[in-house]
Structure 1
Amino acid sequence: MIKVHKYTLEPHSSNIFELPLNSKVLSMQVQHGNIVVYIALVLDSSGNIAQKKETHKFHVIPTGVSVPLDLETIQYLNTAMLLDGDLMLHVFHEKIE
């Protein structure tokens, strides 16, 4: 079983979340001016969020900024358009092993 949760990302930074093992990032959206990711969390047989965790990191990067990320190990999610298009932020996801 799964349960979808929403997590708000802070712009211009890396955001780290401890999520249940085998969780799946579904999408990145802009909601009420905030960048959010929707994640399907794995539930145990009792319907509770699984206790085993893994670390997920979300990078929110403005256009034109250089960052030391490896495109072989991270996943591009989407681009968030904020401030009527004056601020474009690109969101990448990686699992920390």
Structure 2
Amino acid sequence: MARIELMPEALDDLDRIVNHLVQSKAVNIPKKIAEIQQAISVLQTSPRIGHAISNDKRELLIGQRRHGYVAVYSYLADIDCVFVLTIQSQRQQR
């Protein structure tokens, strides 16, 4: 099983996501954050599941359409580790 490391930028992104959800008075914020965490945890057993966007980066789509998120990550097979680089709303990606 691959180890997952969230880079500081990804942790900052999660803080921004939570702050945005709180400010916009979103419904069921803990469930939304749990969905992000659950999707990222899939990378432990399937680190190559995301769409390749370059030689060393992949993106994992989380959730649905404009309410979803995109996690950009890099998988280093030599050390069996996934580095989550950023987590953004799908709206931010466009």
Under a length normalisation based on structure 1, what TM-score does the superposition of the two structures give?
0.29
More helix per residue: 1 or 2?
A: 2
Larger Rg: 1
If asked which structure has higher relative contact order (CA below 8 Å, sep 6+), I would say 2
